[in-house]
Amino acid sequence: MQADYVIVGAGSAGCAMAYRLSEAGRSVIVIEHGGTDAGPLIQMPAALSYPMNMTRYDWGYMTEPEPHLGGRRLVAPRGKVIGGSSSINGMVYVRGHARDFDHWRDSGAEGWGYADILPYYKRMESWDDGGHGGDPAWRGTDGPMHVSRGPRKNPLFHAFVEAGRQAGYPVTPDYNGEQQEGFGAFEQTVHKGRRWSAANAYLKPALKRENCTIVRGLAEKIVIKDGRATGVQLKRGGKSEVIGARAEVIIAASAFNSPKLLMLSGIGPAAHLAEHGIDVVADRQGVGQNLQDHLEMYIQYASKLPITLYKHWNLFSKALIGAQWLFTKTGLGASNNFESCAFIRSQAGVEYPDIQYHFLPIAVRYDGKTAAEGHGFQAHTGPMRSTSRGAVTLKSADPSEAPRILFNYMSQEKDWEDFRRCIRLTREIFAQEAFAPYVKHEIQPGAGAQSDDELNDVIREHAESAYHPCGTCKMGRMDDAMAVVDPHCRVIGVEGLRVADSSIFPRITNGNLNGPSVMTGEKASDHILGRAPLAAANEAPWVNPDWKTQQR
């Protein structure tokens, strides 16, 4: 078997590249270890906590004991299914702030500034504001990736935005448009009541073309001859075989599996590869390093009124919601129920938002466990730009073994200051008049936790990953010793090999990573095809003019 391009990983970026490369007439084989995404647990937006916790759809990775979180091992889900993590994620759509991408450009990812990437966001989107406002000039209208807003019928969604306004923050009509900073409606990758994963948006249409096929199996290593990638060694049905790439091999296997596959193929820190008896093809110190994530906590409150989603947290109600969704694709099942959000700056002197809020009208954890109090609501929050860095390394040279993942969360003193500030700013928002009819008492952290030490204890015990791993195959200048790929996504030191997924982000963006990952696949496609990039945008994003002196 061979094709012009072999893509490893049918995730957010891989699906977008399969679509664009096959659209251009090139032959494409996509390698994916996971299976089908058919069935209501993936396709029904409200069922999001199920696939994330199912071994059938998830690689099932865990971190090493995190030294600054009391030695806890955290779950680190990644999608093992068509669509990758876009098939098991929370469907939240955030482009990231303009300054995030300007930082990429300034740190060596030439051509990835906001003006360069905005046209790709427009190309990929089909945006539906649902009549809630926002400026269409900043958005795309006919791309494969449908983005919509939830119905926001629950009064708590409006209370959250109003509380933000009362606390002195701006309200933004579209955080993915001109002004990210402020409170407003959340956007989701949901279309006609279904999860609009990268598989639904890109891969399934691509597979209808004769020049695009998918092969199931575990990628064991990249085959490299005379310094050039020529194919992928794949294990399926208990046997290893090689799928040949006439033009290039493209790795889009996640922030965990992309560096793992590079290292198994002899590309990585030479001393680490030698420990595992792997012959060095290219000594790249940055492979697996620079691992980043968002850590967050659920700030939970008990509700005075029985208006939260808790009233549906029983088998009978879930069955009714499921039935309504199955037959009509409407109702509570048709939203991820993250329908209001905020992006704020933690203090004066911070140029653009470094705190994000996901608001949810129920007090519940990602694993589906509700708060003992019953009716409640919560905001997920945490610092967006932690300076802590971790690493993905090999446990062994066996491709079937999970990589070793250590985020090294909260390893910087500033992380603790920032996290405590997040909690205190959140409490202030929930103390506003808009929440007076609803707030009964604080569940988590709990009113007893006030001092720095008390809050630190709560963070150490309860902080969770937001599941936004990235950065392990950093994009940068050719002369940057820690860069793994150049700004055209080419692996430095090997011909015919690229990496394009969230692993190439030089620094984490200040929001959820599905949007930037799909955009990366879109932009990488033009580099792979040798096309001139889309013309740079002229739009000037809003930055608070008083950011140097005011927090809001």
pLDDT of res. 135: 87
48 or 250: which leads in pLDDT? 250
- How far apart CA 90 and CA 30 sit, in angstroms, is 24
Residue 23 has pLDDT above 90, yes or no: yes
H-only helix segments in 229-359 = 254-264, 270-275, 315-328
Residue 18 has pLDDT above 90, yes or no: yes
- As annotated, the binding site for FAD includes 81, 89-92
Residue of 33, 191, 358, 468 marked catalytic? 468
CA distances from 254 to 11, 15, 219, 281, 496 (A): 8, 13, 13, 21, 19
Residue 133 has pLDDT above 80, yes or no: no
- As annotated, the binding site includes 81, 89-92
Write the pLDDT tens digit of every residue in 526-540: 999 999 999 999 999
pLDDT of res. 8: 98
CA atoms within 13 A on the CB side of 280: 14
Looking at the DSSP assignment, which residues form a beta bridge with residue 464? 296
Residue 386 has pLDDT above 80, yes or no: yes
Q: Which helix (H) or strand (E) holds 83?
A: none
Contacts of 76 (CB under 8 A, 6+ apart): 61, 62, 63, 256, 405, 465, 467, 469
Residue 173: asked if its preceding bond is cis (omega within 30°), the reply is: no
Contact 5, 28 (CB under 8 A): yes
Residues comprising the chain, all counted? 552
Contacts of 100 (CB under 8 A, 6+ apart): 114, 507, 509, 510
| 468 is an active site residue | yes
Closest residue by Cα to residue 37 from 13, 58, 21, 61? 58
Cα 59–363–514 angle (5° rounding)? 40
Closest residue by Cα to residue 75 from 89, 85, 60? 60
Specify burial of residue 201 (Cβ count, 10 A radius: 0-12, 13-18, 19+). Answer: buried
Write the pLDDT tens digit of every residue in 402-428: 999 999 999 999 999 999 999 999 999
Write the pLDDT tens digit of every residue in 332-355: 999 999 999 999 999 999 999 999
pLDDT of res. 507: 98
Mean pLDDT value across residues 183-207: 98
Closest residue by Cα to residue 10 from 420, 528, 538, 517? 517
Residue 368 has pLDDT above 80, yes or no: no
Contact 503, 90 (CB under 8 A): no
Contact 79, 58 (CB under 8 A): yes
pLDDT of res. 317: 94
- How far apart CA 386 and CA 329 sit, in angstroms, is 39
- How far apart CA 267 and CA 497 sit, in angstroms, is 11
- 130 band by pLDDT with thresholds 50, 70 and 90: confident
Q: Enter the pTM of the model.
A: 0.98
Mean pLDDT value across residues 89-112: 98
pLDDT of res. 166: 98
Specify burial of residue 500 (Cβ count, 10 A radius: 0-12, 13-18, 19+). Answer: buried
DSSP code string of 413-477: HHHHHHHHHHHHHHHHHHTSGGGTTTEEEEEETTTT--SHHHHHHHHHHH-EE-S--B-TT-B--
Task: Domain ranges for the chain, please list them.
Answer: 1-68+77-149+193-290+470-537, 151-185+295-383+411-462
- 319 band by pLDDT with thresholds 50, 70 and 90: very high
**Strongest mean pLDDT among 127-136, 267-276, 312-321, 370-379:** 267-276
Say yes or no: do domains 1-68+77-149+193-290+470-537 and 151-185+295-383+411-462 share a fold: no
* Secondary structure (H, E, C), 328-385: HCCCHHHCCCCCEEEEECCCCCCCCCCEEEEEECCCECCCCCECCCCCEEEEEEEECC
Task: Given CATH 3.40.50.1970, say whether it is the number of domain 151-185+295-383+411-462.
Answer: no
Mean pLDDT value across residues 210-220: 98
- 502 band by pLDDT with thresholds 50, 70 and 90: very high
Closest residue by Cα to residue 314 from 374, 377, 380, 365? 374
Domain boundaries 1-68+77-149+193-290+470-537, CATH class: alpha beta
